[in-house]
A and B are shown apart, each in its own frame.
Chain A
């Protein structure tokens, strides 16, 4: 990599890593895991920087972050995909006034792919097409994941006291 390209890469890292970290955190609910995913994406981006236009770098890093976080949730030795079919815990009492804990707990109840889809659509404001490219799935899948995710959240918000049940998915 030429010094000029490396300088541009450094500028990109310093300008974008904060936003990428926040996006990653919303997808996984854990700052350490989010930081690891951001590091992974930026290290991989370094190797492709000479072939990557700055305007597409965000899409590339988001793709690495989203897919690594989704994959990480599936890779555990004793985890299974179908375990996501287990319904969330039922309501446990009156809602808490702590909005942050409630928000974190509710997000933790979402399956990783639904959660990533919602983050990309409504936090990053990406289109269905852009989200599908990042998650490497069809636009139909993005739409169905979005609908399911919103429905799940709606149900959780209406019924459950979720504060303090853990943030990590």
Chain B
């Protein structure tokens, strides 16, 4: 093919009308401002940014604007005829409700997985792929043909973080061996694979290294990430495929393929599960709105600090934390504002994180460490306020000081925190921050 023919090929491909709604220039400028502001806040206070900037496998593209709502396209490929669209959630919830049966199966699988991970010291963290639907555990995927799970798992004792994927493939006719090879690609990629027969069926264990781009600025060529897998083909033709990888790239997995095979066997496939009626109890819409939270934040801070400390109280808004993982989990959002304390400029911020299972589990130190991301902090102190509320004092230091007071409110289903980034350590203390947090309900 010659260059001229190549250009004709491109022209032919572009003959399709543009079928996407494009963000307006105002939206792009606003998103750019938020990105700059987030980076400033983080750079002022965090010493963990080098690690944080190694973007996780679970942060892909900043899909800050709606993909849907495709408008009628123009024939010349220009997107300008399509009006601007507004921001959407970083990880939107599923649009389809599962059936009662599917919800029951998913809940049973979730319980089995959580219990098994706990038995080997792991805890499932709430996470999602930015821009994609957040299923929050197992869910049935009709197009895939089975139940799927993809989350981050943390091991608090060692600080290890891994990505865990579990696919439960519906039974299919045909050769199980061929299906196992199709899923594992043991022979095609010449991987280290081991086969054995177990009481549940045929087991295939795989250890491999996959090249994955984690930091596209520093290591565009990607890095070799260890991945362990277990595929369990059950007697009825169901295949349970468990995969685990180091979350932040190179390193080693403490979880062995044998443990993953035990996890696969623990998933209660084809067992009786309770039918789950749809319930309003799990609906988190009762939580405060963004406007209510920011109003409380401004009121509580102004009342505690005295006067009008905020430079622009009307322009405070929430943003997702993006790559700044030291604030909290993936769905933590931060609203930052410039304040003046003792004549010195500083940044006061409010952070909120929904709890994965409201009213389920105590507000203990492990949960507090998890939600406050204390592994990224210089110091965290924990103290219970009542049976369902844990207070956390988090200190991050490097080139500045960031103090944050957080309350893990298990009964309410939220973690709420207020922090200050400043060059003047005497500007504020935890007691003051505690008072502000207590004012946010």
A residues in contact (CB < 8 Å) with B: 1, 6, 9-10, 13-14, 17-18, 21-22, 25-26, 29, 31-32, 34-37, 39-40, 42-47, 67-68, 71-72, 74-75, 77-78, 80-83, 99-100, 102-104, 106-107, 118-119, 121-123, 136, 150, 153-154, 157
Interface of A is mostly: helix
- Could you tell me the distance between the alpha carbons of A148 and B24 in the complex, rounded to whole angstroms? 38
List chain B residues, Cβ under 8 A from A46: 28-29, 31-33, 35-36
Q: Which of B57, B67, B213 has the most CB of A within 10 A?
A: B213
Q: Which B residue sits closest to A105, measured CB to CB?
A: B13
Partner of A74, one of B6, B19, B212: B212
**Band of interface residues on B:** 35 or more
Cβ distance B72 to chain A, nearest Cβ, rounded Å: 13
User: Roughly how many angstroms separate A18 CA and B60 CA in the complex, as a whole number?
Assistant: 23
**Judging by beta carbons under 8 Å apart, are B220 and A136 in contact?**
yes
Contacts of A39 in B (CB 8 A): 23, 28, 31, 62-65
Distance, CA A42 to CA B185, complexed state (A): 39
Q: Which residues of B contact A21 (CB under 8 A)?
A: 18, 22, 77, 79
Residue pair A18, B33 in contact (C-beta under 8 Å): no
Please tell me if B20 contacts chain A, counting CB pairs below 8 Å.
yes
Taking A9-B32, A22-B77, A80-B185 as given, write out 9 further A-B residue pairs in contact, using a Cβ cutoff of 8 Å, ordered by the A residue number: A26-B10, A36-B63, A40-B61, A42-B32, A67-B220, A74-B213, A74-B222, A136-B220, A157-B1
Identify which of residues 177-219 in chain B touch chain A, using a CB-to-CB cut-off of 8 Å: 185, 189, 210-213, 216
| A-side contacts of B65, CB under 8 Å | 35, 39
Please determine whether A107 and B20 come into contact, CB atoms closer than 8 angstroms. Answer: no
State whether B9 touches A106 (Cβ < 8 A).
Answer: yes
B3 (CB) vs chain A CBs: closest residue? A122
Give the Cβ gap from B19 to chain A, nearest Cβ, in Å: 5
Given contacts A32-B67, A123-B10, contact A18 B57 (CB under 8 A): no
Q: How far is the CB of A73 from chain B (nearest CB, A)?
A: 10
Residues on the B chain within 8 Å of A119, using CB: 10
A-chain residues with CB within 8 Å of residue B50 when the two chains form the complex = none
Residue B424 at the A interface, CB < 8 A?
A: no
With a cutoff of 8 Å between Cβ atoms, the chain A residues found around residue B210 in the complex are 80-81
Q: List 15 A-B contacts (CB under 8 A).
A: A17-B22, A18-B78, A18-B80, A31-B20, A35-B20, A35-B79, A36-B61, A39-B64, A43-B64, A44-B35, A46-B28, A72-B60, A74-B212, A99-B15, A104-B16
Q: Is the Cβ of A31 less than 8 Å from the Cβ of B211?
A: no
| Nearest B-chain residue to A106, judged by Cβ | B9
CA of A77 to CA of B244 in the docked complex: distance in angstroms?
10
Name the distance in Å between B179's Cβ and chain A's nearest Cβ: 14
User: For chain B residues 26-40, which have a beta carbon within 8 Å of chain A?
Assistant: 28-29, 31-33, 35-36, 39
Interface centre among A42, A102, A106, A157 (most CB of B within 10 A): A42
| CB contact under 8 A between A150 and B29, given known A78-B243, A100-B12 | no
User: Which residue in A13, A100, A106, A121 is a CB contact (below 8 Å) of B25?
Assistant: A13
Q: For A154, list chain B residues within 8 Å (CB).
A: 1
Closest to A79 in B: B210
- Asked if B61 and A77 sit within 8 Å, CB to CB, the answer is no
Q: Bound state CA distance, A44 and B60, in angstroms?
A: 14
Q: Tell me whether B14 is interfacial, beta carbon within 8 Å.
A: yes
Contact between B28 and A71 (Cβ–Cβ < 8 Å)? Answer: no
User: CB-nearest residue of chain B relative to A136?
Assistant: B220
Q: Is the CB of B28 within 8 A of A42?
A: yes
- Measured in the bound complex, the distance between the Cα atoms of B19 and A25 in whole Å is 11
> A36–B67 contact, CB under 8 A?
yes
